[in-house]
Structure 1
């Protein structure tokens, strides 16, 4: 009989800092049977905490994202529809190819001037105050504005989208999760229909409506809703946490902050180390064993749930020596903060671009930036890794 580790037994200390628990698990082996500390989660599942095993699992086609292969339909797929995070090849390949025709590297790089403009405007508003919650004043409005403009979400709808997306990703009350998904689906349907009947726009969602592959293939209405869902949520929730976690790490490691201020060529390395050290996504979304398999000597039977610990893998000393040290000069190659394999985060280049612009501008314009008290509580659950507030002064 396999021992089951109840992560809920670690209480609030696990929510605030799960890394010591992950280190203890890694010391015993890279794969464990666990019970998650959140209502509505799978009762028991396999949890991967080793780096090598995590990268292998993320790219293993035997670990499916399409839960229909084991007779299960998650709430997001039930109410939103099939999307990139719940599809396997060949459907995933088809969906990804269609989105990459519109969401190109050139398009992302073309956003740089607008990202800089939004950043400057936010700092113009915030800096005269002398102190603020970095999330509410800067780290949240930057990515939500960027992704809403990219998708063509009207400004009047952005506050509602922000609230609904938070209720979906980190629900304060899991009992309201279904209602949040229903509201989000309705809003996305209205947005897509408005764009269908309006003159063609230049935004990404309008492009996706018109995008056609060489063979005439196009996204269906349900697939458009699913694509908008993934882009909207992944396009801002993760970037909020990445910007916030990077600033928090720098402010709590003054020698690293001083090194970056002295040499801004270290900025790219700082972003990558922030991803490794305290990435915005703690675990990948669920996978399901489509067939029996073995990981690190652990037998997993068909139909069992598997969760890959991204944060756990990126603190594995076998891959990153002295992993609990924040070091902006570290070789971070191979980190899995954005996943790995065919499900590697589509929006990673945009998140990196926004974070680089945000950090450089904030540090250059606020030379005396410092913490102004304790951060807010850490987000519940094991999906997102971030705090609810970060008080700073300058």
Structure 2
């Protein structure tokens, strides 16, 4: 076993509490290497990772048929087909067309118009945490706050009743299981059941908005699908509309919830930064540094492949090879950020790949930052006594820095 394999084994086995020394070891000893465990080349330096993410012609995502060849049983299910055919996995020119259309509906103005509602949603849930733990009760922060806030925000954006957040929280992880290689037949069938339940819910809303449009994202997307007065290239098909809805709900939910957990974990371990959260601008600076310093998704969920031989310094990636980028390592590369292991919300323009790059740059970036900032501001203002009830426990998962347990209580 070479050095890189050994480091990755340690990372997968026990490195989730603090993987950053192991990331640094990989950057120094094997910044570009083939991993038998992951079946792909792994990149760890900032510039190398950015180059892959910003050059989709040289490093395209696998087409649906290639995805299906890796998981042939999974590919027979509707949930699999919807996920792999979404904008998240598309390449130009299909991606260019879909992103152009979706961007017309998912505008900066629409996101900014949600700010007051997001602040209210975050404040309401923080108040619920305060009420439920007033007698010293121990609560799971992830379940009580990190999950419902982004789901209620997405429900508000789409125009769904806010009480649907718990239903969405149950459906989305079940759908995502269809692209988990370890899922058995029962889990795959359950993923399809969850998908059909979700689409039934959404399509009821679609039909309502076709008859009576409102100022929400569903109405805007339906208009792109139903406008027969424009060329076909300027319309979404019904299947594309379904895929867009599912992508919006699945692509950012888990990472947003995990990012809220990490941001609050960072605040509770560094309470000296609480005064900086009194303003929205200060909270956004804290959020941006958290996302750089401890990325919620430290490794790309999917992989790209090298369309031709690629050279990264002295390292060669053969044509046709799968490639994955280790974002958690890249964001702490000293070549990108000075003193990268220091947490500093006052850092000027932190360089990060947490929201992707190039044509695949995350459409929901500003909405996610808004959600996390809103939660931090509400906690700083209303829950000065929030403390860990016990040491949080990370899951042993490389793609996501989530928690198996995040218990909190109020003191004082």
Answer whether TM exceeds 0.5 for this pair: yes
Distance 1:195 1:105, change over 3 A: same
Please name the residue that 1:94 is paired with. Answer: 97
Separation (CA, whole Å) in 1 of partners of 2:170 and 2:197: 12
Structure 1 residue 364, shift from structure 2 partner: 0.7
Structure 1 residue 294, shift from structure 2 partner: 2.1
CA deviations on 1:76-130 (whole Å, 9 max, x unpaired) are 6535451111111110010001111111111111111211221222122211223
CA deviations on 1:238-296 (whole Å, 9 max, x unpaired) are 21111110111121123334x52587753221111000011221112311222332233
Within a 5 Å distance, the mapping from 1:1-394 to structure 2 comes to: 5=5, 7-36=8-37, 42=38, 44-60=39-55, 61-68=57-64, 72=68, 75=75, 77-80=80-83, 82-128=85-131, 129-130=133-134, 131-154=138-161, 157-169=164-176, 174-175=183-184, 177-198=187-208, 199-202=211-214, 203-211=216-224, 212=227, 215-216=231-232, 217-257=234-274, 260=276, 265-284=281-300, 285-378=302-395, 380-394=396-410
Separation (CA, whole Å) in 2 of partners of 1:2 and 1:67: 32
Cα pair 1:370 1:393 within 8 Å, conserved: yes
Gaps of 5+ in 2: none
Separation (CA, whole Å) in 2 of partners of 1:168 and 1:174: 11
Structure 1 residue 334, shift from structure 2 partner: 2.2
Separation (CA, whole Å) in 1 of partners of 2:67 and 2:127: 52
Cα pair 1:249 1:326 within 8 Å, conserved: no
Distance 1:25 1:388, change over 3 A: same
TM-score, L = length of structure 1 = 0.88
Separation (CA, whole Å) in 1 of partners of 2:241 and 2:193: 16
Structure 1 residue 207, shift from structure 2 partner: 2.2
Supply the RMSD in Å over aligned alpha carbons: 2.8
Cα pair 1:81 1:222 within 8 Å, conserved: no
Tell me the SS of whatever aligns to 1:23.
helix
Distance 1:322 1:105, change over 3 A: same
Structure 1 residue 300, shift from structure 2 partner: 2.0
Separation (CA, whole Å) in 2 of partners of 1:210 and 1:174: 37
Structure 1 residue 66, shift from structure 2 partner: 3.7
Cα pair 1:234 1:347 within 8 Å, conserved: no
Distance 1:200 1:17, change over 3 A: farther
Distance 1:140 1:63, change over 3 A: same
Cα pair 1:70 1:290 within 8 Å, conserved: no
Separation (CA, whole Å) in 2 of partners of 1:172 and 1:289: 22
Distance 1:325 1:289, change over 3 A: same
TM-score, L = length of structure 2 = 0.84
